[in-house]
Amino acid sequence: MSRAVVIIGAGQAAASTALRLRANGFSEPILMLGNEGHAPYQRPPLSKKYLAETPPVENLYIRPAEFWVKADIAVRTDAHVDRIDGAAKSLQVGSECIEWGGLVIATGSRARPLPEIYQNRSNTFELRSIADVARLGPLCKAGKRLVVIGGGFIGLETAAVARRAGLEVTVIERAQRILERAVCPNISASIRELHEFNGVRIIEGRGVLETVGNPSIREIVLDDLERIAADLVLVGIGVVAEADLAKAAGIAVQDGILVDDRGRTSMPDVWSAGDCTAFPYRGETIRLENVQNAIEQAEAVADDICGRQVSYAPVPWFWSDQYESKLQIVGLAKGYDEIVIRPGDRGGISCWYFAGDSLTAVATVDDARAYMTAKKLLERGAAADKGRISDPALDLRTLLAA
Ligand SMILES: Cc1cc2nc3c(=O)[nH]c(=O)nc-3n(C[C@H](O)[C@H](O)[C@H](O)COP(=O)(O)OP(=O)(O)OC[C@H]3O[C@@H](n4cnc5c(N)ncnc54)[C@H](O)[C@@H]3O)c2cc1C
């Protein structure tokens, strides 16, 4: 019987699981099975620096390829897992059967399926992988007209990079404001102003009726019949958990792969971490699509495999770089009933979200001090006095001293 830990996926969560297992002294074989043709790599730069500069792909790698060999962690990068058999403790890669003692599903997320009006068009793009950047990057030439469908983080970051490269950029967001799901109206407004200052047209509260042109989209027709000319169309309308493999194996899935606070799935000896999971957080079941969760939940999984039973109770954090600005969020901006807004020291802004008297999250644009203070307060579970925070003269450091 195998004692190996096999990890499906070779992304951030997979890498973090393997690294933590070895750091914990786990000495059995570890095998990572990825299907992208690359050693584990970081995705955040894809819509930021990497898209702008396209340096060698190795710059994205979480560890140099040789590292995995030295750490005795086997990484296969062209191994698409087709099926998991929980009873036999094995899985199938094509016709090959691989046995496992413990299994970690770290399959991440995939782009939401493209609406039909964008399907099979030669100038429509998504941005999730190195392969996607290899397709889009070389076409981002000054003077081209890029239409971004969806005013979420990836769409906006790509818009910023494209604008810097001299493209004419329009962002179309169907909701009333960009970043509506993630932040409050003040932060949306601050990011909108940033883009408009840089010459991007942001259209909010209007959807797309149809696209004109096949095989190449020439125009996007909005629901009020305005027509927007396009050379390139980036569709950034969110992701869904990559949970089909788990579901087919009979593992409980609800939006994502359901796990407990130690990353255990409903199947014995099977754990899951990262974008693909749905996990308990303060009485709710949530999903997170960020690096913090991919790393920390994976570490909790590795700890559990090694018999260290530590509950995963994160303070989520996230960042987004657009032009020279940095948006940072710590905590979960949900269920709040009041927002305290503070101007930052150097033209930035911070929004402090409260549910009653408890601080639940803070979102900042170009205000690193407010972000770091809030992160420490939330990590300590410390009280934050609303009245004092709203005083623009308050030196935030005093909150930590208290
Ligand atoms: C363009 C972009 C920008 C981002 N920017 C930020 C940011 O600024 N800040 C932030 O916090 N987060 C950001 N994120 C999100 C962050 O990158 C993800 O949350 C993180 O990568 C999740 O890690 P993961 O290991 O769960 O999934 P992934 O990194 O997606 O890895 C999953 C891997 O599993 C593979 N896989 C799936 N199914 C199978 C199968 N059946 N067999 C074998 N392999 C399989 C996938 O191909 C993939 O390689 C960004 C994401 C993208 C795409």
Longest CA–CA separation in the chain, Å: 67
Confidence category of residue 71, pLDDT binned at 50, 70, 90: very high
- Name which residue sits closest to atom 4 of ligand 1, judged by CA: 44
- Site to substitute for ligand 1 among 290, 293, 297, 320, most atoms within 8 A of C-beta: 290
- Name which residue sits closest to atom 23 of ligand 1, judged by CA: 12
Mean pLDDT to the nearest integer, 285-311: 96
pLDDT digits (tens, 9 = 90+) for 183-226: 999 999 999 999 999 999 999 999 999 999 999 999 999 999 99
Give whole-number Cα distances, 48 to 56, 64, 119, 160, 385, in Å: 15, 21, 25, 8, 36
pLDDT of residue 166: 98
- Name which residue sits closest to atom 3 of ligand 1, judged by CA: 44
pLDDT of residue 396: 87
Return the number of other C-beta atoms located less than 10 Å from residue 212's C-beta: 13
pLDDT above 70 for 402 = no
pLDDT above 90 for 319 = yes
What type of residue is 56? Answer: P
Q: Which residues contact 321 (CB under 8 A, 6 or more apart)?
A: 48, 49, 157, 160, 327
Please state, in angstroms and rounded to a whole number, the distance separating the CA atoms of residues 193 and 241. 32
pLDDT of residue 328: 98
Query: Is residue 215 reached through a cis peptide bond, with omega within 30 degrees of 0 on the bond before it?
Result: yes
Q: Give residue 24 CA to ligand 1 midpoint distance, Å.
A: 24
Mean residue pLDDT across the chain: 95
Element (H, E) at 28: none
pLDDT digits (tens, 9 = 90+) for 144-156: 999 999 999 999 9
CA-atom Rg of the chain in angstroms? 22
pTM of the model: 0.96
